[in-house]
């Protein structure tokens, strides 16, 4: 199976008339930071120069969506989902001819759109038609090859791993391996569906994300190479086949049976089954180790459940309950459009391959429905469209703000260090094609009105008690009348400095935090989020631009870049904006060229009155439901009656590039423990030498702790036992320690079926600050001893010494995603500069992906666990974090004594103070968060690997 990397660089997709956009950009703004606002960019057709295309209002509509599969149209038939690899990626013809995709469903991206009713069954056969996997993956406590100090080479580390039998070939690896591996295994997950996890009673697969469908070539390889160290498990006497229990070769049959939601409740009251609520969901591979690579290569598609909400809206706007959703129908030209936005479109996806040629390194770009050039939509003034928007981005920079802007905008890409950044430019003189860079405030002023119908596939719900109803949100009213500190004016003589000041102003107080995150007429979408919005074409004809703007407060990268810009002025990374579509608004004509009557006025908010009743399944989860009551299955267990079922877990850890430096030097307790750890190890033969720490080349006998090959991201299963075991300074294991994915984790959360729980999820990935002027003994690359300071303290030190102090170890907001059951989210709490938590959620709502803010941020939600028992997962939807082990198995259990929630005397609420919520769910301080992020258990290694394996304490100073 050969994949030609040589073709990767010339992928199409970006071509406009004349030079490609990319080459234009390279020629124009390489090395530039934000363009000075006075600069204009002209199409310069007259000079024969490169161009930005001007959208003509005469242009015809080019909007395109994948083909549609409706199970109801094909009774008894399976949808064929063939996972194929492109032998010659440059030749692939996807919907938008996106370039060099490597893997796809049926040869195109996105995959087919599935539209089904809430009581139907989706049957599909997933075939893995990929070739043999080339990958070799290090399993064990090895350092990241890209973050080694002087004197240690990646080859040394790999040789050591090979010698110890820990450089494994992917065809024998399984789901227990955390890290990037097995690019050519696959499976499928229905993101957002309330459906049975695992298998159906008849053995077909339902939403089974533990299943691994391996390809025939790898299966053959296992038989041919059974003596390989990688396949030791195959030689165990009890192993009777070439497959693990959770593996299948070649294909798998799935049946997603989504009717009969809340079956227990309906059986109990003698009511008839209830269909799955209608909504915008999606499907994508969920194969641990390769999820990031497969989803980012375009393996994703819409999964739309249709039902009463849609029929009511259709009836009102088109006069018929079931029009073709892809055709303009009725007085208002009503149509649905599907928008799959992906920030990164990875074109080559086998990074663990043996040769550089097969590794990642080809071009990547953004894509909308698989197309990397924006397409056009035509609307008549007053027309109403429903857009189902999916943020299918997979990475830490995939947080997006969806909006529609008046005018034609385009993006200019510049190269900042090794990462591209983009800046919006606006067409300011159509007569000569002049585009002008625009400030953030100017962009905000061009935003058009949007109405939000649903989030994460659930129609918005409001009210309480007996008065619960569906609603629509007028996004013009969302935090209206405020300004975003990020939009404040920029000093043209010191743009980076004043942008940094604006950034810091976001965290000054509670109101500033809210004003930065919650903006009128836009929808904040973390990777994996969906939102349904109505857009009503303005009365003013012209070109409008649908954009997803990058979120700069999602991580420390932007702040860090602005700080660096003090000493290297051209390195300010910009946000990343994606042009989703151009909307040409113009009155229409008939085939004879005569004007047709204008569309009459319609108040979109009036649709609220036609929305159907809310099914009990989507009623807000009350505190009373969370409380253990008499007659409940767990009511008879000692000390449970009257208590609330609660749970608190924490996401934590850092990327390898940001790992703080830890050495045996110094006289703090960590250094002493580290020293003792090394000596004990050496006394046992020094087995771990080079694996996760290395001798400092100019200081024999002293050691530096290396960043691990897999990211340190992990999840703790309980905060109850929130202290390290002090009895053993070497291996402090506790439930509060971060744990990497283990499909049979004995400490997994267990929820009692048909009850509700309240969860608090913390993010203890924290920013670390360092004096980067000194090169500490044991220095390794850009790694410094990082101090866990509050944002205010770090900023004060930076202000006092901007040449040297930096936010050096960067943290990120983790998008928490849970399968099977949506969450009634009550709080999303962002820490201000002093660490005080600010709830940015104006009203509770249903979600299945929830951004958990870094630096000790918190979300609080309640969830019901009806209908299904069995294991499923929660995980970070930055999918590389997931592949690296930031995933946790959870289980809905049928018997009360199996549940392991934490009974508490109180719960949180949407309007309680953050302090009151913290009294229920105690927070870690920064020093404890540092410990949490530094220490995790990886059960994939036979010993139950702990990292780093000795007690660690945050540095102070």
User: Could you list the residues that contact Cu ion (CB under 5 A)?
Assistant: 814, 876, 878, 881
Angle at 346 between CA 344 and CA 352, to 5 degrees: 130
> Which H helix or E strand runs over 547?
strand 542-550
How, if at all, do strands 542-550 and 400-406 pair? antiparallel
Q: Which is nearer to Cu ion, 114 or 929 (CB)?
A: 929
How, if at all, do strands 335-346 and 384-391 pair? parallel
Q: Which is nearer to Cu ion, 303 or 715 (CB)?
A: 715
Preceding peptide of 948 cis, ω within 30°: yes
CA separation for the pair 282, 190 (Å, rounded): 6
Q: Are the beta carbons of 82 and 130 closer than 8 angstroms?
A: no
Residue 136 CB, nearest distance to Cu ion (Å)?
Answer: 26
Preceding peptide of 428 cis, ω within 30°: no
Residue with tokens 């003698």: 270
Angle at 368 between CA 486 and CA 543, to 5 degrees: 70
Residue 197 CB, nearest distance to Cu ion (Å)?
Answer: 22
608 is written with which tokens? 């609220």
Task: Output the DSSP codes for 320-360.
Answer: SSS--TTS-BTTTTBEEEEEEEEEEEES---TT-SSGGGSS
Residue 556 CB, nearest distance to Cu ion (Å)?
Answer: 13
Q: Which is nearer to Cu ion, 881 or 923 (CB)?
A: 881
Q: Measured on CA atoms in the order 944, 950, 953, 957, is the torsion positive or negative? A: negative
Q: Which is nearer to Cu ion, 878 or 954 (CB)?
A: 878
Residue 691 CB, nearest distance to Cu ion (Å)?
Answer: 25
Q: Which is nearer to Cu ion, 336 or 938 (CB)?
A: 938
Residue 902 CB, nearest distance to Cu ion (Å)?
Answer: 24
Q: Which is nearer to Cu ion, 360 or 874 (CB)?
A: 874
Q: Which is nearer to Cu ion, 560 or 755 (CB)?
A: 560
Residue 878 CB, nearest distance to Cu ion (Å)?
Answer: 4
Residue 582 CB, nearest distance to Cu ion (Å)?
Answer: 33
Q: Which is nearer to Cu ion, 528 or 785 (CB)?
A: 528
Residue 881 CB, nearest distance to Cu ion (Å)?
Answer: 3
Q: Measured on CA atoms in the order 29, 35, 39, 44, is the torsion positive or negative? A: positive
CA separation for the pair 914, 365 (Å, rounded): 40
Whose CB is nearest to Cu ion?
876
Closest CA to 889 of 870, 906, 871, 877: 871
Q: Which is nearer to Cu ion, 628 or 714 (CB)?
A: 714
Angle at 22 between CA 21 and CA 23, to 5 degrees: 95
Residue 169 bridge partners (DSSP): 136
Q: Which is nearer to Cu ion, 440 or 881 (CB)?
A: 881
CA separation for the pair 137, 167 (Å, rounded): 6
Residue 814 CB, nearest distance to Cu ion (Å)?
Answer: 3
Q: Which is nearer to Cu ion, 387 or 816 (CB)?
A: 816
> Which H helix or E strand runs over 68?
strand 68-69
664 is written with which tokens? 């045996």
Task: Output the DSSP codes for 887-934.
Answer: EEEEEEESSGGG---EEES----SSS-HHHHHHHSPPP-HHHHHHHHH
How, if at all, do strands 578-585 and 542-550 pair? antiparallel
Q: Which is nearer to Cu ion, 652 or 755 (CB)?
A: 652
CA dihedral 148, 150, 154, 157 (to 10 degrees): -80
Residue 883 CB, nearest distance to Cu ion (Å)?
Answer: 11
Residue 876 CB, nearest distance to Cu ion (Å)?
Answer: 3
Residues 6+ apart with CB under 8 A from 804: 771, 772, 773
Residue 937 CB, nearest distance to Cu ion (Å)?
Answer: 18
Helix ranges (H only) for 149-254 are 154-163, 216-224
Q: Which is nearer to Cu ion, 520 or 653 (CB)?
A: 653
Residue 763 CB, nearest distance to Cu ion (Å)?
Answer: 8
Q: Which is nearer to Cu ion, 532 or 883 (CB)?
A: 883
Roughly what angle, to the nearest 10 degrees, separates helices 557-564 and 495-505?
A: 140
Q: Measured on CA atoms in the order 309, 313, 319, 320, is the torsion positive or negative? A: negative
Q: Which is nearer to Cu ion, 104 or 393 (CB)?
A: 393
């Amino acid at each position: 199976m050969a994949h030609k990397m040589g073709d990767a660089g010339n992928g199409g997709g970006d071509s406009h008339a004349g030079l490609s956009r990319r080459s234009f950009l390279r020629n124009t703004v390489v090395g530039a930071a934000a363009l000075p606002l006075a600069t204009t960019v002209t199409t310069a057709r007259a000079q024969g120069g490169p161009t930005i295309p001007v959208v003509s209002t005469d242009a015809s509509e080019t909007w395109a969506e994948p083909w549609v599969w409706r199970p109801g149209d094909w009774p008894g038939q399976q949808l064929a989902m063939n996972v194929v690899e492109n032998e010659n990626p440059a030749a692939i013809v996807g919907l938008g001819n996106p370039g060099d995709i490597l893997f796809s469903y049926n040869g195109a991206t996105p995959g087919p759109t599935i539209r089904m009713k809430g009581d139907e069954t989706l049957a599909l056969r997933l075939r893995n038609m990929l070739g043999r996997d080339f990958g070799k993956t290090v399993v064990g406590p090895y350092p990241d090859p890209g973050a080694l100090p002087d004197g240690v080479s990646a080859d040394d580390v790999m040789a050591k791993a090979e010698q110890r039998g820990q450089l494994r070939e992917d065809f024998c690896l399984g789901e227990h391996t955390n890290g990037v591996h097995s690019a050519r295994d696959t499976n499928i997950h229905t993101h957002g569906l309330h459906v049975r996890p695992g298998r159906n009673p008849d053995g077909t697969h339902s939403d089974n994300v533990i299943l691994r469908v391996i390809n025939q070539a790898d299966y053959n390889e296992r038989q041919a190479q059974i003596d390989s160290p990688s396949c030791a498990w195959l030689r165990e006497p009890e192993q009777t086949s070439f497959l693990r229990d959770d593996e299948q070769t070649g294909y798998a049959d799935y049946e997603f049976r989504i009717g009969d939601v809340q079956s227990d409740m309906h059986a109990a009251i003698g009511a008839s089954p209830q269909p799955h609520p209608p909504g915008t969901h999606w499907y994508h591979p969920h194969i641990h180790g390769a999820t990031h690579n497969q989803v980012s290569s375009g393996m994703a598609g819409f999964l739309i459940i249709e039902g009463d909400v849609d029929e009511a809206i259709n009836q009102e706007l088109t006069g018929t309950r079931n029009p073709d959703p892809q055709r303009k129908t009725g007085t208002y030209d009503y149509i649905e459009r599907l928008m799959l936005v992906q920030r990164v479109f990875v074109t080559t996806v086998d990074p663990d391959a043996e040769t550089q040629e097969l590794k990642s390194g080809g071009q990547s770009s953004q894509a909308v429905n698989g197309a990397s050039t924006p397409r056009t939509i035509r609307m008549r003034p007053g027309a109403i469209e429903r857009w189902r928007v999916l943020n299918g981005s997979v990475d830490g920079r995939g947080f997006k703000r969806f909006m529609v802007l008046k005018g034609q905008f385009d993006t200019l890409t510049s190269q900042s260090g090794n990462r591209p950044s983009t800046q919006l430019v606006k067409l300011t003189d159509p007569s000569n094609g002049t585009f002008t860079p625009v400030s953030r405030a100017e962009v905000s002023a061009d935003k058009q009105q949007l109405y939000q119908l649903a989030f994460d596939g659930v129609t918005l719900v409001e009210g309480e008690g007996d008065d619960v109803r569906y609603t629509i949100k007028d996004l013009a009213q969302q935090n209206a009348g405020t300004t975003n500190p990020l939009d404040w004016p920029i000093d043209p003589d010191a743009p980076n400095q004043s942008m940094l000041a604006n950034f810091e102003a976001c965290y000054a107080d509670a109101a500033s935090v809210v004003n930065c995150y919650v903006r009128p007429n836009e929808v904040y979408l973390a990777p994996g989020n969906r939102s349904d919005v109505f857009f009503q074409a303005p009365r003013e004809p012209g070109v409008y631009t649908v954009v997803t703007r990058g979120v700069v407060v999602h991580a420390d990268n932007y702040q860090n870049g602005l700080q660096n810009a003090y000493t290297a002025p051209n390195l300010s990374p910009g946000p990343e904006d994606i042009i989703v579509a151009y909307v040409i608004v113009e009155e229409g004509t008939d085939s004879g060229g005569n004007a047709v009557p204008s569309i009459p006025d319609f108040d979109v908010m009036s649709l609220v009155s036609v929305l159907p009743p809310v099914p009990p399944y989507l009623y807000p989860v009350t505190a009373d439901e969370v409380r253990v009551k008499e007659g409940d299955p767990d009511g008879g267990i000692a000390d449970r009656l009257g208590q609330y079922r609660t749970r608190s877990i924490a996401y934590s850890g850092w990327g390898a590039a940001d790992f703080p430096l830890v050495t045996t030097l110094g006289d703090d307790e960590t250094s002493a423990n580290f020293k003792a750890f090394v000596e004990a190890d050496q006394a046992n033969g020094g087995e771990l030498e080079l694996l996760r720490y290395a001798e400092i080349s100019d200081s024999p006998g002293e050691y530096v702790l290396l960043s691990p090959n897999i990211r340190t991201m992990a999840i703790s299963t309980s905060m109850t036992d929130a202290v390290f075991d002090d009895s053993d300074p070497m291996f402090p294991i506790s439930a509060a320690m971060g744990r990497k994915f283990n499909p049979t984790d004995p400490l997994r959360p267990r929820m009692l079926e048909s009850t509700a729980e309240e969860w608090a999820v913390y993010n203890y990935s924290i920013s670390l600050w360092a004096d980067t002027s000194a090169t500490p003994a044991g220095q390794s690359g850009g790694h410094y001893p990082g101090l866990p300071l509050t944002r205010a303290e770090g900023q004060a030190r930076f202000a006092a010494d901007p040449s040297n102090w930096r936010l050096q170890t960067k943290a990120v907001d983790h998008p928490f995603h849970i399968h099977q059951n949506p969450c009634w989210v009550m709080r999303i709490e962002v820490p201000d500069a002093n660490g005080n938590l600010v709830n940015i959620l104006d009203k509770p709502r249903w979600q299945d992906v929830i951004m958990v803010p870094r630096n000790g941020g918190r979300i609080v939600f309640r969830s019901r666990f009806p209908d299904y028992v069995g294991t499923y997962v929660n995980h970070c939807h930055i999918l590389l974090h997931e592949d690296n082990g930031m995933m946790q198995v959870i289980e809905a259990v049928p018997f009360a004594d199996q549940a392991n929630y934490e009974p508490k005397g109180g719960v949180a609420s949407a309007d309680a103070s953050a302090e009151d919520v913290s009294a229920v769910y105690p927070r870690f301080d920064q020093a404890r968060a540092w410990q949490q992020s530094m220490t995790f258990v990886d059960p994939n290694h036979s010993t139950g690997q702990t990292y780093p394996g000795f007690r660690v304490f945050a540095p102070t100073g």
